[in-house]
């Protein structure tokens, strides 16, 4: 199984940004931790960008390259209809992930425009959410 872990704006600052919400680990440390948890034949690719178009390009290019996408779109979750349309335009199954519980935070964070075009949404499990998403993709595929 080939899985793209796609991470959006400001996730490059994990480990130093609002650690009381997002934790002390960097995205690289989370990726390394996850790779150690994998018990089945899985190849992971991690990509992070602060630019919406770069994420859309990755989603559009996923067809045939990846069996699934784990997407943490960050704040784009709440308003990016372009990312939503990209997910909807490909057959690559996508799971939406958030480190924090978006439903217990500010009002604007409670809405996801991506949720309805993803297989599922995982919110509030920290780095464990990435692992749960990987397992859900494995079961789906």
The predicted model gives 67-91 an average pLDDT of: 97
Is the CB of residue 4 less than 8 Å from the CB of residue 45?
A: yes
Q: Where are the domains of the chain?
A: 2-140
Q: Any catalytic annotation for residue 78?
A: no
Indicate the range of 13-22, 61-70, 93-102 predicted with least confidence: 13-22
The one catalytic residue in 66, 98, 103, 140 is 98
> CA–CA separation, 105 vs 122, rounded Å?
15
Active site residue 140: no
Cβ neighbours for 85, distance < 8 A, ≥ 6 positions apart? none
Residue 103 has pLDDT above 90, yes or no: no
Record the pTM. Answer: 0.92
Q: Which CATH architecture has domain 2-140?
A: 3-Layer(aba) Sandwich (3.40)
User: For residues 41 and 58, what is the distance between their CA atoms, to the nearest angstrom?
Assistant: 22
Residue 21 confidence (pLDDT) above 90: no
Where is average pLDDT lowest: 38-42, 58-62, 92-96? 38-42
Collect all residues with Cβ–Cβ distance below 8 Å to 128 and sequence separation of at least 6. none
State how far the Cα of 76 lies from the Cα of 108, in Å rounded to an integer. Answer: 11
pLDDT of residue 74: 93
């Amino acid at each position: 199984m080939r899985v793209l872990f796609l991470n959006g704006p400001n996730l490059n600052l994990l480990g130093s940004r609002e650690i009381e919400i997002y934790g002390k680990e960097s995205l690289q440390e989370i990726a390394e931790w996850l790779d150690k948890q994998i018990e089945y034949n899985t190849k992971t690719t991690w990509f992070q960008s602060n630019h919406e178009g770069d994420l859309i390009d990755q989603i559009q290019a996923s067809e045939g390259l990846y069996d699934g996408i784990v997407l943490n779109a960050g704040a784009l979750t709440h308003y990016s209809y372009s990312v939503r349309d990209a997910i909807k335009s490909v057959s690559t199954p996508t799971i939406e992930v958030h480190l924090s519980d978006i439903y217990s935070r500010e009002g604007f964070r409670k809405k996801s425009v991506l949720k309805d075009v993803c297989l599922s949404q995982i919110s509030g499990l920290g780095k464990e959410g990435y692992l749960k998403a990987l397992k859900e993709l494995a079961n789906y595929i």
